[in-house]
Amino acid sequence: MYHNGQLIVHDLQFQDHHDHHVPVQIYCGKEHSDIGFVEHYSHVFVKVNNVFYNRRQFTFVSRPGY
């Protein structure tokens, strides 16, 4: 189980969020960029809302119950 606000950084965490349809919130620095479901991920990018986000540039946060 993931907690609201928990950082998502590992492949297994992205896979869990994808498999269980748990939303993630995306930040660029401290600024909110997007929120949605993981459609696809790789070691470089995470696709949310048909947009590819670079895992090195953006921060991903778990938002269960959103």
* Residue 23 covered by a domain: yes
Q: Which domain holds residue 12?
A: 6-62
* Residue 56 covered by a domain: yes
Question: Cα separation of 52 and 29, whole Å?
Answer: 17
* Residue 1 covered by a domain: no
* Residue 30 covered by a domain: yes
pLDDT, tens digit, 9 for 90 and up, residues 48-57: 999 999 999 9
* Residue 24 covered by a domain: yes
Domain at 15, CATH number: 2.30.30
Number of folded domains in the chain? 1
Angle at Cα 57 formed by Cα 46 and Cα 62, nearest 5°?
55
Cβ contact 18:25 at 8 Å: no
Q: What is the pLDDT of residue 23?
A: 97
pTM assigned to the model: 0.93
